[in-house]
Structure 1
Amino acid sequence: MKKKKKYGLRAFINDVHLWLGLASGIILFLVCLSGTILTFEEEIKGFFAEKFTVEAGDKKLSVEQLISALESEGIVSSVTVPAEEGEAYEFSVKESPEQRRGSTYYVNPYTAEFSKTQESSLDGFFFSMFKLHRWLLLDSSIGRPIVGVSTIIFLILSITGIVLWFPKKNIKWKTLKPGFKIKFSARWKRINHDLHNTLGFYACIFLVVMSLTGLCWSFQWYRDLGSEVMGAQIFGGRGGPRVESEAQIGEDEVISIAEVEKITAQELNYEGKTSISFPSGDKGVYSIRKYESAKLSPIIADNLIVDRDGKVLKKEIFNDKPLNVRITSLIKPLHTGAIYGGFSKFIYFLACLIATSLPITGTFIWLNKMKKKPKIKKA
């Protein structure tokens, strides 16, 4: 008589991994698939967009002159000056002061010729992918918690998957080595198992980061808990308290944008893309963000707030901020993979692609195990 196997911790972890994976498989497939597509959204849109070329001239026009060329289009609220020569300036133009976000205009700094970004069919497609990723195309009040719970399940699956990746016993290089590669010369069942086991292992750390950061959009309690643990506000503290003008001057005494650029160059003395938001209202100030070209991350910026009379009211150097503040301010790029530009996006794309395949390969592993082995007839 065969001795009944003891139901141990590993068997319990295996069952948790199996049944949670089967229960959430379709939702995780849709969320991961849409996340994979969204990784290179900007690059795909840019590839199909009509190119606005800039031919360098003898001398660039001032930002004020470029604004004058755009005044017929609406209210110019900001400008982004590229670090490289021969690139267009980007202006944000609003139809009214109440409009939250304006339209983007690309302007040739040598001729003042401009082109407004046009909507395309890709905008609708990517917005659908965004809604699928965040809310499963449902109402946000219904879809958001479903995606949130599925993300928690995905986090558990990632952790239990790593535990199951390790051999049951005799953990040494000889037993670990097979888990690092896919044996393509084997039968289909073994290849499918390796695709799930090995690829899941390589992608795991990125999937954990995506899950932990993704939950910030799903649950308020999670954001509050994360803010308390980190000692810095998640999402709520972006930009800090509003800074108002202290200058007692008339409109004709407000410093020019050229002077703002000069102050920015003095305070943030390095090459890089510079974005300047113009004062709005009587208490408005110049808000500047500058991205250092030499830095590995293209999304990390230093901030400067300059009053109408040229006084520097606030200066924030990203690297001087406490570590916890830096981490909480980078939640979104850590989730999307934009933290290190194209390099990290490519890594995240592969990780998301693997994550999309895991529910499929995992289901096949379960189906293969469910097939009963044929009984051997006794002679």
Structure 2
Amino acid sequence: MSGPTIKSALLQVHSIAGLVLALLLCLIALTGVIMSFEDEIVDHLNAAIVQVAPRTTAALLPDELVSRLKAVPDAGKVAAIMLSSDPSAAVHVRFARDEQGGRPSSVYVDPYDGHVLGVPRGEEFFTTVRRLHRWLLIPGDAKGWGRQITGVAALGLIVMFISGLVLRWPRRASSAKMWLKPNLALSGRGLHRSLHAVIGTWVLPIYLVMTLTGLWYSFDWYKDGVVWLLARPHVAAAKMQPKQPRPSGRVEPAQPVGFDRAWSTLLREESGGFARAQLMLPAGLGTVMRIRSWPKDSTLESVRDEFRIDAATGQVISAERYADKTLGEKVIASVLDIHRGAVLGFPGKLAFMIAAALMPLFAITGVFLYLSRRKLQRPAPPTLGRLVPGE
């Protein structure tokens, strides 16, 4: 197959994939833009309820907080609490889903007397945006078809990366100007092609990182492959174990599972060296509680220790400390922070947000290029000669 034939075939593949996926990719990208600085926005909106005045009295233990919260009308079943070593930080309480599958809004609680400070603003909005970004609001969320659809869109985007890179490969490939400088003196089709190709080159590395990390959330085979490649064998074997199905219905354990013993064990294990910790009650009949602990010297979501602690006995079942992970295992733990550019700090998050916001530009210029190419390929109407009377 000759070079022009290969390029013609790649152009068809690139165009068809772009036309089919344009709207979906724009939706995924723009919802990602909205979530880029979610933490900062939510903290700003709720500045009045996430902090309390420090007091000389000791903060209430978690079980006492939950007990006082139960007296609040319409309070749901507590599923997790976020505690902090900062004496001025409020306690963040999340609730379990109800019989209809809905989840009540979380609340912030005063750690010293247990009274509710308020419901966080923006939480429901960002939850909806996140479900749209990941699962397109298709019923079933992570168990529905939305997860696979976004994964197929990501695979299609990789096809567009490869075909687009081959199609735009300049004759002077060593010239940075040819790769990185758009020709703004052009107009019409020439300008559209320059913007589409050059700005695409700028954002290609970011899009590639976004796509490769986004596939982690869409396909189990991809996730298992990454774990097998980057983690130590015994860690990979543990992570690739199939999840046990949750029991149907809401079956309560014989005795209520509390937080206090697990909380005491965490304080002993971490020796006060954490900034905040999230304690999550078991979803089923077990008593093993999952606990995440973030150190004081990091703002990244991925830099955390994880424990499994028996809430009934306080025994540590497992401890997964971030400092003990290999480089590959730290990459696995940081998939979300890599996906959103947070591993590079504020500049990284800003760069990833701008790159995602440029996705509609590729959709628009790509459609214009396709329509203009179709117009050029359309055969010209035959010219009618002067007719002689009688012919």
- Decide whether aligned partners of structure 1 residues 264 and 341 sit closer, same or farther in structure 2, where only a CA change above 3 A counts: farther
Contact residue 34 and residue 130 of structure 1 kept, 8 A: no
Alignment pair present for 1:304 and 2:307: yes
Instruction: Please give the secondary structure, in 1, of the residue aligned with 2:81.
Output: strand
Q: Give the corresponding residue for 2:322.
A: 318
Matches within 5 A, 1:3-152: 7=4, 9-41=6-38, 43-44=40-41, 47-48=44-45, 51-52=48-49, 53-64=51-62, 65-73=64-72, 75-94=77-96, 103-117=105-119, 123=124, 127=128, 130-131=131-132, 134-135=135-136, 144-152=147-155
- Select 1:367's aligned residue among 367, 371, 376: 371
Contact residue 108 and residue 120 of structure 2 kept, 8 A: no
Q: Give the corresponding residue for 1:246.
A: none
Q: Tell me the TM-score normalised to structure 1 length.
A: 0.72
Q: Structure 2: where are the runs of 5+ without partners? A: 247-254, 381-391
**How many pairs does the alignment contain?**
355
Instruction: Please give the secondary structure, in 1, of the residue aligned with 2:351.
Output: helix
Q: What is the rounded CA distance, in whole Å, between the counterparts of 2:130 and 2:295 in structure 1?
A: 32
Q: What is the rounded CA distance, in whole Å, between the counterparts of 2:135 and 2:71 in structure 1?
A: 38
- Decide whether aligned partners of structure 1 residues 280 and 345 sit closer, same or farther in structure 2, where only a CA change above 3 A counts: same
Aligned-pair identity (%) = 23
Q: What is the rounded CA distance, in whole Å, between the counterparts of 2:287 and 2:140 in structure 1?
A: 37
Alignment pair present for 1:291 and 2:294: yes
Deviations 1:57-104 (A, max 9, x none): 334423255344323245545432235442212123558899997752
Q: What is the rounded CA distance, in whole Å, between the counterparts of 1:89 and 1:306 in structure 2?
A: 20
Deviations 1:176-220 (A, max 9, x none): 314323444554555433332222112212212222233344445
Q: Tell me the CA shift for residue 111 of structure 1.
A: 4.3
Matches within 5 A, 1:93-242: 93-94=95-96, 103-117=105-119, 123=124, 127=128, 130-131=131-132, 134-135=135-136, 144-168=147-171, 170-172=172-174, 175-184=175-184, 186-187=186-187, 189-223=189-223, 225-226=225-226, 228-230=228-230, 232=236
Contact residue 238 and residue 329 of structure 1 kept, 8 A: no
Instruction: Please give the secondary structure, in 2, of the residue aligned with 1:273.
Output: strand
Q: What is the rounded CA distance, in whole Å, between the counterparts of 1:139 and 1:306 in structure 2?
A: 30
Aligned residue identity for 2:305: D
Q: Structure 1: where are the runs of 5+ without partners? A: 243-249
Q: Give the corresponding residue for 2:251.
A: none
Q: What is the rounded CA distance, in whole Å, between the counterparts of 2:291 and 2:97 in structure 1?
A: 22
Task: Point out the more displaced range, 304-313 or 286-295.
Answer: 304-313
Task: Point out the more displaced range, 97-106 or 25-34.
Answer: 97-106
- Decide whether aligned partners of structure 1 residues 23 and 235 sit closer, same or farther in structure 2, where only a CA change above 3 A counts: farther
Deviations 1:317-337 (A, max 9, x none): 123224444434444444345
Q: What is the rounded CA distance, in whole Å, between the counterparts of 1:223 and 1:149 in structure 2?
A: 15
Q: What is the rounded CA distance, in whole Å, between the counterparts of 1:285 and 1:97 in structure 2?
A: 23
Aligned residue identity for 1:30: L
- Select 1:260's aligned residue among 245, 265, 275: 265
